[in-house]
């Protein structure tokens, strides 16, 4: 059987580094959601020592020491087990997951010291495969203690590790496993959380990659590693790594290319320069690359690829403009269609727009710079968004019906499941790889942000697996995909009631407040793209994020009037 990396994996990480990809400043204030801010994802390899129990500690001190010692990145938690009775130390399954609790908690010992009740709040959980899921739950855990040789020891530790958010910044790190979109043309990141300081990171990453995607992504992505593919030997973390697999059998050139892309994208996070692939000991020559692959091969699979000439867009009086302050070419740029929102394909070859009127709304689609034709009507439509690999336009009609329009085909209603009665869908934005959607759901003033997967079975497409990104924010107004793993959104800060821009990891584990200098608090639209400056609309004017300040679109010129910003793709 394939050996899982649960002893190394299965634990939470420091917050993702959330700067630099979309013009986001590096000195943003962090807001702990389930973890605290870290400067980077670098794994220093430093062993974090834990403090052993001291003689004479009282029951609550023993529990507090046990929680602190559990934050060590030493596998199997040998010091934390010293706080347990002998039987409990042998039976404690520390590798089945993590429960993350807020920084502040209470310990209430019973009068006789035989019980200590831990009272706090759960902010997230990590399962045995290192997948994070946000939570907002009260915690009340009763720990039994008994005297062992005159010293208090815990007799019933809960399964897994119970840790405060603060303890993660030193002990854990996040990496992505990479799978494939349904077309096999893009890799899709699957965030996982690993114990830092591991000497077997490369081996753990490959083992988890072979075991397949997380339950959330399983219906949306594919993989070239079938159930019979296994490692023949451990993967050594060196600059030029060699991977020997069994169970590959005969593979087509296209399959070898996709398989190699998954490995390269997963391992390049460890600064691995070259990869040699073997099948049952025999060298595998990948068409177009050969026997040795470089870390920069398969760049065409980049889920964050943006064409060099792609520019931001916005609307003014029904006309489409570019963020250079120029009208888009063609009738849409002249305002012929009186659009209220729009979206363009990544290569800027196709444009979709919504025309609203007192009698209803119309979705129009056509060539970028050319004529647009009506394809769908309704009372209202959300802003069009693109599923780029499959070249589909997606919209929400009348707040409750998700519709996709494949290129050259009639509109098709998408089955929506797992959403329940949470309210109307106010906005929907597809990820560039087409496997996930960021969805704003709820009534005005109380809308929440969800992530859903796009599952395809033949001609049937389903939007399902809705997961609410548990954050302290209220009333999400707009959202955009900053990268394949990060979302830029506008939402209300409960601390002061102001509407602000935020960056959140796609699993909800990390939330960071973004620059707001010079941006009015009632901003209504946000746009982002990898390697591009964020755009926002507020009080009828357009803003661009320049470092730590929101400025005019064109330096030296006044603010341009505009709304509904978007980037192609």
Residue 20: inside a domain:
no
> For position 43, what pLDDT does the model report?
56
DSSP code string of 341-362: EEEE-TTS-EEEEEEEETTEEE
Do residue 397 and residue 470 come from a single domain?
yes
Residues recorded for the chain = 569
Residue 454: inside a domain:
yes
Dihedral sign (CA 536, 190, 250, 270): positive
Q: What is the Cα gyration radius of the chain?
A: 26
Decide: helix, strand or coil at residue 299: helix
Do residue 245 and residue 390 come from a single domain?
no
Do residue 352 and residue 445 come from a single domain?
yes
> For position 105, what pLDDT does the model report?
95
Residue 108 sits in a domain of what CATH number? 3.10.450
**Exposed (0-12), middle (13-18) or buried (19+): which is 478, by Cβ within 10 Å?**
buried
Can you read off the two tokens belonging to residue 113? 């010291």
Decide: helix, strand or coil at residue 280: coil
> For position 9, what pLDDT does the model report?
39
> For position 322, what pLDDT does the model report?
97
Q: Which domain holds residue 247?
A: 224-301
- What span, in angstroms and rounded, lies between the C-alpha atoms of 475 and 446? 4
Mean pLDDT by runs of 10 across the 569 residues of the chain is: 40 35 44 36 59 96 95 89 97 91 94 96 89 91 97 96 82 91 96 82 94 96 96 91 94 96 96 94 93 93 94 98 96 98 96 95 97 97 94 96 95 93 95 97 93 92 93 93 97 92 93 94 95 97 96 94 97
Give this prediction's pTM. Answer: 0.90
Do residue 59 and residue 161 come from a single domain?
yes
Residue 268: inside a domain:
yes
Do residue 267 and residue 343 come from a single domain?
no
Do residue 278 and residue 331 come from a single domain?
no
Residue 405: inside a domain:
yes
Cβ-Cβ contacts under 8 Å for 4 (sequence gap 6 or more) = 128, 129, 207, 208, 211
Angle at the Cα of 24 from the Cα atoms of 20 and 30, rounded to 5 degrees? 100
| Alpha carbon distances (Å) from 184 to 233, 389, 486 | 28, 9, 22
> For position 159, what pLDDT does the model report?
94
Angle at the Cα of 528 from the Cα atoms of 523 and 529, rounded to 5 degrees? 175
Residue 279: inside a domain:
yes
Residue 78: inside a domain:
yes
Residue 330 sits in a domain of what CATH number? 2.120.10.30
* 84: β partners: 154
- What span, in angstroms and rounded, lies between the C-alpha atoms of 263 and 261? 5
Split into its structural domains, the chain has a count of: 3
- What span, in angstroms and rounded, lies between the C-alpha atoms of 14 and 35? 6
Cβ-Cβ contacts under 8 Å for 125 (sequence gap 6 or more) = 97, 98, 99, 100, 132, 133, 135
Do residue 290 and residue 386 come from a single domain?
no
Question: Pick from 238, 267, 301: which residue ends a domain?
Answer: 301
> For position 18, what pLDDT does the model report?
36
DSSP code string of 21-60: SSS--TTPPEE-SSS---S-----------PPP-TT--HH
Question: Pick from 301, 329, 362: which residue ends a domain?
Answer: 301
- What span, in angstroms and rounded, lies between the C-alpha atoms of 539 and 132? 37
For helices 201-211 and 253-267, angle between their N-to-C axes, nearest 10 degrees: 140
Residue 259: inside a domain:
yes
> For position 135, what pLDDT does the model report?
86
Among 330, 350, 327, 354, residue whose Cα is nearest residue 340: 354
- Residue 273 Cα to chain centre, angstroms: 26
Residue 535: inside a domain:
yes
Do residue 433 and residue 406 come from a single domain?
yes
Do residue 401 and residue 514 come from a single domain?
yes
- What span, in angstroms and rounded, lies between the C-alpha atoms of 37 and 528? 22
Do residue 340 and residue 438 come from a single domain?
yes
> For position 47, what pLDDT does the model report?
63
> For position 305, what pLDDT does the model report?
94
Do residue 280 and residue 317 come from a single domain?
no
Question: Pick from 256, 273, 301: which residue ends a domain?
Answer: 301
Do residue 254 and residue 321 come from a single domain?
no
């Amino acid at each position: 059987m394939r050996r899982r990396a649960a002893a190394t994996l299965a634990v939470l990480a420091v917050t993702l580094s959330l700067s630099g990809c979309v013009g986001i400043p590096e000195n943003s204030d962090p807001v702990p959601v389930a973890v605290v801010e870290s400067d980077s994802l670098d794994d220093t390899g430093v062993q974090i020592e834990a403090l052993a129990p001291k003689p004479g500690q009282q029951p609550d001190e023993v529990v507090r020491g046990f929680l602190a010692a559990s934050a060590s990145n030493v596998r199997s938690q040998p010091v934390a087990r010293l706080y347990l009775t002998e039987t409990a130390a042998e039976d404690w399954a520390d590798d089945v997951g993590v429960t993350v609790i807020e920084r502040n908690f209470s310990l209430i010992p019973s009068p006789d010291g035989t019980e200590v009740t831990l009272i706090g709040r759960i902010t997230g959980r990590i399962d045995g495969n290192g997948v994070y899921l946000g939570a907002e739950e009260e915690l009340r855990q009763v720990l039994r203690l008994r005297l062992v040789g005159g010293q208090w020891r815990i007799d019933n530790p809960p399964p897994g590790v119970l840790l405060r958010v603060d303890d993660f910044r030193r002990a854990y790190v996040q990496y992505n496993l990479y799978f494939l979109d349904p077309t096999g043309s893009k890799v899709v990141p699957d965030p996982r959380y690993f114990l830092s300081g591991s000497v077997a990171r490369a081996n753990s990453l490959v083992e988890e990659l072979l075991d397949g995607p997380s339950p959330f992504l399983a219906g949306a992505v594919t993989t070239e590693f079938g159930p019979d593919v296994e490692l023949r030997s451990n993967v050594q973390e060196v600059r030029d790594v060699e991977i020997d697999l069994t169970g590959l059998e005969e593979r087509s050139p296209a399959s070898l290319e996709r398989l190699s892309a998954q490995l390269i994208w997963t391992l390049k996070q460890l600064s691995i320069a070259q990869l040699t692939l073997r099948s049952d000991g025999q060298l595998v020559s990948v068409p177009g690359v050969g026997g040795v692959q470089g870390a920069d091969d398969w760049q065409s699979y980049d889920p964050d690829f943006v064409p060099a000439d792609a520019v931001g867009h916005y609307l003014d009086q029904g006309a489409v403009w570019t963020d250079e302050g120029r009208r888009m070419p063609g009738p849409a740029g002249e305002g012929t269609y009186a659009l209220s929102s729009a979206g363009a394909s990544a290569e800027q070859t196709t444009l979709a727009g919504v025309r609203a009127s007192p009698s209803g709304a119309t979705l129009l689609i056509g060539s970028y710079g050319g004529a647009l034709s009506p394809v769908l009507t309704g009372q209202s439509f959300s802003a069009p968004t693109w599923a780029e690999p499959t070249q589909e336009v997606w919209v929400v009609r009348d707040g409750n019906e998700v519709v996709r329009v494949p290129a050259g085909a009639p509109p098709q209603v998408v089955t929506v499941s797992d959403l329940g009665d949470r309210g109307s869908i106010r906005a929907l934005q597809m990820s560039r790889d087409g496997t996930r959607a960021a969805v704003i759901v709820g009534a005005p003033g109380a809308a929440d942000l969800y992530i859903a997967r796009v599952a395809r079975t033949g001609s049937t497409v389903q939007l399902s697996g809705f997961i609410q990104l548990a954050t302290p924010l209220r009333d999400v107004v707009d959202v955009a995909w900053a990268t394949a793993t990060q979302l830029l959104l506008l939402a209300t800060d409960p601390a002061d009631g102001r509407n602000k821009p935020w960056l959140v990891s796609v699993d909800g584990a990390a939330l960071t407040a973004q620059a707001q200098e010079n941006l009015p608090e009632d901003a209504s639209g946000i746009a982002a793209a990898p390697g591009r400056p964020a755009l926002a609309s507020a009080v009828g004017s357009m803003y661009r994020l320049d470092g730590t300040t929101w400025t005019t679109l064109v330096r030296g010129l006044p603010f341009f009037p505009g709304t509904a910003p978007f980037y192609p793709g």
